[in-house]
A and B are shown apart, each in its own frame.
Chain A
Amino acid sequence: MTKVETGAGAIYEKAINLEKVRAAHKPLAEKQTVREADGNAAAAYASLQMWRSVIFGGFPITPSTKWLETVAAVVSSGKVGAKQLKLLEAEHAVADYLAGAAAACRDLIVSTATSSVGLDHMAESVRSLGASGLGNILLIDVYRATANYPLCIEGDPSDTLAHRDSGWIQICCRGIQQIYDTILQAPCLGMHPDIMTPVMPGYYGIKDSHKSSRLLLEADRDIHAFQDALIAPSKLPGLINGDTAMGNCVTSNLFQGYKIDQKQRMENVFKVLPKIGKLFEKQFKRPGLEFVEKIRWPKDDAVDLAIVGMGPDMGTAASLTEAMQEKLGIRIGVLAARLLTPFPAGEYSRLLKRAKGVLVVNQAHHYGRGHLGLDITQACYSLDSRPAIVNCFAGMGGAILSDATWEEMIQHTSRAVKTGEKLTPPVVVHEGRIEWQG
């Protein structure tokens, strides 16, 4: 057997025959098919259609449970060939199990889905995995408020935002098709040799996880062709095909070197992600991965007021803008965040350079100006003419963002633009009223 030495030990090239793994996969879809699916089912189908995706782990928590149930149903039917779903005793155990599986063979994709305190329960492992270089792990986070006191099972991204420093690439999705498409592209990003960082795609619990709509299911064959063009066998040894040691201890004078490497791999996402997105778009004729989704945005970036937020509520915002533009006599643009980590500050800075005011909608509790608010403020800091940045909290705990709430937030922002105040105190808006001001 040919042995190849690498900086991280030896690889025994024929120890694992990936062609057999590919051959063991059976297609979920022979050809492109239209299905009715909710977000969790769409995420599960995407996870199941990749031939490299052989090992799954899970533990139930609302609202991600249906991902697990769907994977269980499909795996046990044998429809997609030999796959292993391990039902573990806790989320922490799931993350540890995936760590072992991902390290065992770097060329396979291992996945799970969780939410809220489930993600927190994994925290120790999640943070270790973020630094591990194991880019072949997919952790689907179905957003739900965290933590308890009070317990609330609806969609609120405070779980994912609490893990912005955990070392994972985080991508926010809105809508059933985008959830599916994002998961198909995620491993291409995470497993890229210059990135090698695990990916946490996420979507709103209830609002998207439990909402059914039309899903275009691609043929497994086409998904494989897309991924195979982007994913090459790992250049580093895994535990099975290699002679290697992972997870060493170091002293402080070496630690920072590891962190520089980790930072650099994360930075490389900015280079690789658009390429993956373009290839996806070329093959599947739908938008691929991008830093920011321009839901309603002029080509020349000429907006007076920009709305920046996350998730499915941004669609409602876009549907209201025309009427609000007329009412207020201003140009309004709507951006939905896609890449959360690493945060594409440069992209926002380019897009917002002509805005007079930016309304940032934060849907997760934060003591300051909001997670997204801080990042957007930083992105605008270097602009010659800084816009007024208005941070609103709305939709926390998955609350509905009613038309009246959107109108109030937009009015509140345009008032700030008029007064010339650059950074207003954060407010909480609910059912069209400002309920609290910082």
Chain B
Amino acid sequence: MARVADIIQRESCFQPGSTLCMGCMESIAFQNIGKLTDNGKKTIFALGTFCGEVSTLQYPNPVAWGRGETTPEKWEKSFGVIHHVFESAPGVAEGIRDTADMLAKMGALSGPVQVAALSGDGGALSIGLRTLLMTIHRRVPITIFVLINEIFANTGFQFGPTTSPGSETSTTPVSELVDGNPATPLDYIGLTVAAGAGFVAQVSPAFPKFFMQTVEKALASSETAVVFIPAPCITGWKFGEGETVNLARLSCETGFFPCFVKEKGQKGQIKFVDLDPAKRPPIENFMGPQRRFHHLVKKDSKTDTFCMRPGKEAMMQKIRGWIQNHLDSLNQLT
């Protein structure tokens, strides 16, 4: 395990110049993943269509991917990236992986190659769930990163299968009849574990050491590694500047997005969140700063704290119930 202090000195394959929103967690995640891939192996990423693609591969803007201003002198530092279609990053990565493995088998490859797929949660868990699960099922040794921002951000913040209950999205508007999204999210961690992934984790740059150590392990996994990265979306979640990392931390501590890691054959671990609801910060603290929850939570001007709006017990109870159920089911894996 490399030291975090050393990792941050490395050359990232994600450079400044993307058009991701200011304050987008994806940018922080990519910079750090990029550093972790500077490990002596040639790196290839397959991207789905998502903010992390359209805002980083837009020509003639500088392509944000790549190590530095010029192409590296050494092949093992070089970086290849492909965007094919919305939902297929794991499948494309599988083709790359197999090709590299076949070349290696023939003695035709001059060094090791690491392959990762990156998509949004819509790409991976909605339209691309089949590919995701089947790639895992085939035990393809790639690392799959899924950026979880709960919505189809790129098309204007629509509801997706990971949208939190009660959240207002552009297709689950709040009205007198409904309090935003009525559904509870897909248990993507449970699904990927059940599909047989060699390594499943949920990490956040808000917990940098855990993030670095976990991603490093994922990249070294001999089977499919799946890394979910909850990514507060400043524009879609509608929160103020400077809140990104704070909200990412709270999203874990309140139980919305528990940090988690499980290697095949070993017990999983839930991190940075207490299983006892009484010991967790109130969910209002996470929801309050986001306008997508304003119909449910408001700031009490007297106490300067976030609290539930009157009459919203049912939806708040639904959210708490979902969080507890999800934590309990994750706990079964620990």
A residues contacting B by CB (< 8 A) are 1, 3, 5, 9-10, 12, 14-21, 23-24, 54-55, 57, 82-84, 86, 88-90, 92-93, 96-105, 108, 110, 124-125, 128, 237-251, 254
Are A20 and B96 closer than 8 Å at their CB atoms? no
Q: Judge if B44 is at the interface, Cβ distance under 8 Å.
A: yes
- CB contact list, B255-293 vs A, under 8 A: none
Shortest Cβ distance from residue A51 to the other chain B in the assembled complex, whole angstroms: 11
Chain A residues with Cβ under 8 A from B54's Cβ?
249
Are A104 and B107 closer than 8 Å at their CB atoms? no
Are B109 and A240 closer than 8 Å at their CB atoms? yes
Can you report 9 A-B residue pairs in the complex whose CB atoms are below 8 A from each other? A15-B42, A17-B110, A20-B106, A24-B108, A55-B98, A84-B102, A100-B96, A244-B80, A248-B59
Task: State which of B86-94, B181-189, B295-303 sits at the interface with chain A.
Answer: B86-94
Are A16 and B108 closer than 8 Å at their CB atoms? yes
**Most A CB within 10 A of own CB, among B47, B65, B75, B105:** B75
Shortest Cβ distance from residue A13 to the other chain B in the assembled complex, whole angstroms: 9
Q: Judge if B320 is at the interface, Cβ distance under 8 Å.
A: no
| Of the residues A100, A108, A249, contact of B82 by C-beta under 8 Å | A100
Are A125 and B82 closer than 8 Å at their CB atoms? no
Chain B residues with Cβ under 8 A from A110's Cβ?
95
Known: A17-B110, A20-B108, A100-B96. A93 touches B80 (CB 8 A): no
- CB contact list, B100-127 vs A, under 8 A: 100-103, 105-111, 113
Known: A16-B108, A96-B84, A100-B93. A86 touches B98 (CB 8 A): yes
11 new A-B contacts at CB < 8 Å, known A240-B100, A240-B109, A249-B53: A5-B71, A15-B42, A100-B46, A100-B84, A100-B92, A104-B96, A240-B44, A243-B72, A246-B80, A248-B83, A254-B60
Are A1 and B96 closer than 8 Å at their CB atoms? no
Are A84 and B98 closer than 8 Å at their CB atoms? yes
Size of B's binding interface in residues, CB under 8 A:
51
User: From A21, which residue of chain B is reached at the shortest CB distance?
Assistant: B108
Shortest Cβ distance from residue B209 to the other chain A in the assembled complex, whole angstroms: 30
User: From B73, which residue of chain A is reached at the shortest CB distance?
Assistant: A3
Contact with A along B22-42 (1 / 0, CB 8 A): 000000000000000000001
CA gap between A250 and B60 in the complex, in Å: 7
Known: A17-B107, A90-B130, A250-B58. A82 touches B102 (CB 8 A): yes
CA gap between A90 and B131 in the complex, in Å: 9
Chain B residues with Cβ under 8 A from A93's Cβ?
88, 91, 130-131, 134
Q: Judge if B81 is at the interface, Cβ distance under 8 Å.
A: yes
**Most B CB within 10 A of own CB, among A17, A24, A93, A100:** A100
Chain B residues with Cβ under 8 A from A24's Cβ?
105-106, 108
Shortest Cβ distance from residue B332 to the other chain A in the assembled complex, whole angstroms: 28
CA gap between A246 and B63 in the complex, in Å: 11
Chain A residues with Cβ under 8 A from B60's Cβ?
250, 254
CA gap between A108 and B71 in the complex, in Å: 24
Shortest Cβ distance from residue B129 to the other chain A in the assembled complex, whole angstroms: 11
Are B95 and A98 closer than 8 Å at their CB atoms? yes
User: From B58, which residue of chain A is reached at the shortest CB distance?
Assistant: A249
| Of the residues B71, B81, B103, B111, contact of A105 by C-beta under 8 Å | B103
Are A124 and B80 closer than 8 Å at their CB atoms? no
**Most B CB within 10 A of own CB, among A5, A57, A110, A239:** A239
Chain A residues with Cβ under 8 A from B88's Cβ?
92-93, 96, 99, 125
Chain B residues with Cβ under 8 A from A92's Cβ?
88, 131
Known: A9-B71, A249-B59. A124 touches B85 (CB 8 A): yes
Q: Judge if B141 is at the interface, Cβ distance under 8 Å.
A: no
Are B80 and A100 closer than 8 Å at their CB atoms? no
User: From B91, which residue of chain A is reached at the shortest CB distance?
Assistant: A96
Are B107 and A246 closer than 8 Å at their CB atoms? no
Are B83 and A247 closer than 8 Å at their CB atoms? yes
Known: A3-B73, A100-B94, A125-B84. A105 touches B99 (CB 8 A): yes
| Of the residues B65, B74, B91, contact of A245 by C-beta under 8 Å | B65
User: From A246, which residue of chain B is reached at the shortest CB distance?
Assistant: B82
Chain B residues with Cβ under 8 A from A10's Cβ?
71, 78
Known: A84-B102, A104-B44, A105-B103. A245 touches B95 (CB 8 A): no
Chain B residues with Cβ under 8 A from A97's Cβ?
91-92, 94-95, 98
| Of the residues A16, A90, A96, A242, contact of B95 by C-beta under 8 Å | A96
Shortest Cβ distance from residue B312 to the other chain A in the assembled complex, whole angstroms: 40
CA gap between A10 and B107 in the complex, in Å: 22
User: From A241, which residue of chain B is reached at the shortest CB distance?
Assistant: B75
CA gap between A99 and B83 in the complex, in Å: 10
| Of the residues A15, A98, A99, contact of B110 by C-beta under 8 Å | A15
User: From B81, which residue of chain A is reached at the shortest CB distance?
Assistant: A245
User: From A87, which residue of chain B is reached at the shortest CB distance?
Assistant: B138
Q: Judge if B57 is at the interface, Cβ distance under 8 Å.
A: yes
Are B91 and A242 closer than 8 Å at their CB atoms? no
Chain B residues with Cβ under 8 A from A17's Cβ?
107-110
CA gap between A124 and B92 in the complex, in Å: 14
User: From B55, which residue of chain A is reached at the shortest CB distance?
Assistant: A249
| Of the residues B66, B73, B74, B96, contact of A101 by C-beta under 8 Å | B96
Q: Judge if B79 is at the interface, Cβ distance under 8 Å.
A: yes
CA gap between A110 and B99 in the complex, in Å: 10
Are B113 and A240 closer than 8 Å at their CB atoms? yes
Shortest Cβ distance from residue A173 to the other chain B in the assembled complex, whole angstroms: 27
Chain B residues with Cβ under 8 A from A105's Cβ?
99, 103
Chain B residues with Cβ under 8 A from A99's Cβ?
82, 84, 88, 92, 95
Chain A residues with Cβ under 8 A from B97's Cβ?
100
Chain B residues with Cβ under 8 A from A124's Cβ?
85
CA gap between A99 and B85 in the complex, in Å: 10
Chain B residues with Cβ under 8 A from A244's Cβ?
80-81
Are B99 and A15 closer than 8 Å at their CB atoms? no
Are B58 and A16 closer than 8 Å at their CB atoms? no
User: From A86, which residue of chain B is reached at the shortest CB distance?
Assistant: B98
Are B74 and A1 closer than 8 Å at their CB atoms? yes
Chain A residues with Cβ under 8 A from B94's Cβ?
86, 97, 100
| Of the residues A54, A84, A89, A243, contact of B130 by C-beta under 8 Å | A89
Chain B residues with Cβ under 8 A from A245's Cβ?
57, 63, 65-66, 80-82
